[in-house]
A and B are shown apart, each in its own frame.
Chain A
Amino acid sequence: MTTVSTLAEVRPDEVMTIAASRLLEDGKVMFAGIGQPLVAAALARRRQAPNLTVVLEGGMVGIHLLPGELPASTNEMRAAVGAEMLTSATDIFLLAQRGCFDYGFLGVAQVDAYGNVNTSLIGDPDRPKVRLPGPGGANDIISMCNETVIVTNHEPRRFVERVDWITSPGHLTGGDSRQRSGLLHGGPSWVVTDLALLDFEEESRRMRLRALQPGVTVEQVRRATGFELLVADEVSTLDPVTDDEVRLLRRLNGESDD
Chain B
Amino acid sequence: MTTATLPFPGADTLDARLELEGRRRPREPKTMTAEEAIAGFVRDGDVVAVGGTNHARTPMALLVEILRQRRTGLAMSRPLTCYEAELFIATGMADRVVTSWVGIGHGWGLAQVLREYVETGRIDYQEWSHLGLGLRYRAGAMGVPFLPTYSMLGSDLGRRLQLVEATCPYTGQELTAVPSLNPDVALIHVQRADVYGNAQIDGYELMDGDVARAARRLVISTEELVDTDILRRDPARTVIPGFLVDAVVVQPMGAYPHECYGHYLADEEAFTHYMERVRDHGSEGAREYAAELVAHADHDAFLASVAPERLAALRKDAEGMMPQ
Report how many residues on chain A are interfacial, defined by Cβ distance under 8 Å. Answer: 55
**Distance of B183 from chain A, by nearest CB (Å):** 15
Most chain A beta-carbon contacts within 10 A, residue among B55, B127, B151, B209: B151
Give chain B's interface residue range (CB within 8 Å of chain A): 35 or more
> A179's closest neighbor in chain B, by CB?
B154
Cβ–Cβ < 8 Å partners of B135 in chain A: 90
Most chain B beta-carbon contacts within 10 A, residue among A90, A128, A137: A90
A82 at the interface (CB under 8 A from B): yes
A59 touches B106 (CB 8 A): no
> A97's closest neighbor in chain B, by CB?
B150
In the assembled complex, 17 residue pairs joining A and B whose CB atoms fall closer than 8 Å, in A order, are A71-B105, A71-B106, A76-B56, A76-B266, A77-B262, A88-B206, A89-B204, A89-B206, A120-B127, A128-B119, A133-B102, A134-B99, A136-B100, A136-B101, A137-B130, A140-B151, A182-B153
A73 touches B151 (CB 8 A): no
Q: Which of B113-161 contact A (CB under 8 A)?
A: 114-115, 118-121, 125, 127, 129-132, 134-135, 137-138, 149-157, 160
B149 touches A135 (CB 8 A): no
B137 touches A90 (CB 8 A): yes
Interface contacts (Cβ under 8 Å), in number, total 191
Q: How far is the CA of A127 from the CA of B123 in the complex (A)?
A: 11
Write the residues of chain A forming the contact surface with B, with a CB cutoff of 8 angstroms: 34-35, 57-60, 71-73, 75-78, 80-82, 86-90, 93-94, 97, 120, 125-137, 139-140, 143-144, 165-169, 172, 177-178, 181-185
Give B76-105 as 1s and 0s: 1 = Cβ < 8 Å from A's Cβ atoms: 000110000000000000000001111111
> B159's closest neighbor in chain A, by CB?
A166
Q: How far is the CA of A142 from the CA of B36 in the complex (A)?
A: 45
Cβ–Cβ < 8 Å partners of B291 in chain A: none
Which listed residue, A126, A139, A178, A185, touches B157 by the CB 8 Å rule? A139
> B149's closest neighbor in chain A, by CB?
A97
Give the dominant DSSP class at A's interface: loop
Cβ–Cβ < 8 Å partners of A80 in chain B: 203-204, 261
B246 at the interface (CB under 8 A from A): no
Taking A75-B204, A143-B151 as contacts, is the C-beta distance between A182 and B130 under 8 angstroms?
Answer: no
Task: State the 7 A-B residue pairs at the shortest beta-carbon distance, nearest first.
Answer: A90-B134, A181-B154, A72-B105, A93-B131, A169-B154, A136-B101, A139-B129
Cβ–Cβ < 8 Å partners of B56 in chain A: 58, 73, 75-76
